């Protein structure tokens, strides 16, 4: 791909990428600490796993084009919120809101925007909880608040989103109607599965705490 403007602003771009990369590391560490603390306090991991990525130049260029903006480093920093992206995968929907709440309480993390696609799924069936946050990155001569997009979703939502993403690119956004319809149906099944798994888990938790109460047996998993 031809990136003449980025090429001219190469130094500025390298600096920005260094900041985004540092911000990903900072957020990753904070999430790991929260997960470990939670495990110690409740014998339970709300986070299944975490992945992170820096957005590809092609995807950044596409997004700015969609927004009708020129491809400049200034515009990338200002308008592309997900250059640095973290995906947090949880077992249960309740964990998503628990993690989001914990993130919003971290003192140096500022929440700029939240999109709750679980309460309000996209018309194609996409569900996930998105937060745009900033985290300070401490350099030798200054501190820079750097944007990170955090996507929080269940394993089932992630399964759906990764297949939908592949289909979207395969058909360049124009998948046949029957595939779109089947994806929407699958999204309803995902929501059903998540509800069922959550209620089974709640039953198990109640059963475990009754056992501790009645027999002093502690159940760990």
β strands within the chain, DSSP E: 47-54, 84-90, 110-116, 129-138, 143-154
The verdict on 42 binding ligand 0O2 (CB under 6 A) reads no
- End-to-end Cα spacing for the chain: 49
CA-based Rg of the chain, rounded to a whole angstrom?
20
The verdict on 65 binding ligand 0O2 (CB under 6 A) reads no
Measured CA to CA, the distance from residue 102 to residue 97 in angstroms comes to 9
The verdict on 63 binding ligand 0O2 (CB under 6 A) reads yes
The verdict on 115 binding ligand 0O2 (CB under 6 A) reads yes
Q: Which of 29, 43, 104, 124 binds ligand 0O2 (CB under 6 A)?
A: 124
The verdict on 110 binding ligand 0O2 (CB under 6 A) reads no
For ligand 0O2, the closer CB: 95 or 164: 164
Measured CA to CA, the distance from residue 205 to residue 101 in angstroms comes to 21
The verdict on 161 binding ligand 0O2 (CB under 6 A) reads yes
For ligand 0O2, the closer CB: 124 or 206: 124
With 0-12 / 13-18 / 19 or more C-beta atoms within 10 angstroms meaning exposed / middle / buried, residue 203 is exposed
Contact 134, 190 (CB under 8 A): no
For ligand 0O2, the closer CB: 169 or 215: 169
The verdict on 30 binding ligand 0O2 (CB under 6 A) reads no
Which residues are at the interface with ligand 0O2 (CB under 6 A)? 55, 59, 63, 81-82, 115, 122, 124, 126, 130, 161, 164-165
């Amino acid at each position: 791909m031809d990136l003449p403007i980025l090429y001219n602003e190469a130094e500025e771009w390298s600096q920005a990428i260094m900041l985004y990369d540092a911000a990903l590391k900072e957020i990753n560490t904070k999430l790991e600490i929260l997960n470990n603390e939670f495990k110690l306090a409740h014998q339970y991991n709300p986070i299944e796993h975490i992945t992170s990525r820096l957005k590809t130049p092609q995807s950044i260029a596409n997004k700015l084009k969609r927004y009708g903006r020129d491809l400049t480093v200034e515009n990338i920093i200002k308008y592309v919120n997900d250059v640095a992206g973290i995906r947090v995968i949880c077992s249960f929907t309740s964990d998503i809101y628990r993690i989001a709440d914990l993130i919003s309480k971290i003192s140096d993390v500022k929440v700029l925007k939240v999109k709750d696609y679980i309460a309000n799924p996209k018309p194609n069936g996409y569900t996930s909880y998105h937060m745009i946050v900033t985290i300070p990155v401490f350099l030798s001569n200054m501190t820079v608040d750097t944007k990170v997009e955090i996507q929080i979703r269940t394993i089932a939502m992630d399964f759906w989103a990764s297949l939908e993403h592949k289909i979207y690119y395969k058909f360049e956004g124009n998948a046949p109607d029957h595939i779109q319809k089947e994806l929407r149906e699958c999204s309803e099944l995902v929501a059903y599965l998540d509800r069922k798994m959550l209620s089974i888990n709640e039953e198990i938790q109640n059963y475990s705490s009754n056992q501790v109460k009645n027999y002093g047996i502690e159940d760990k998993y």
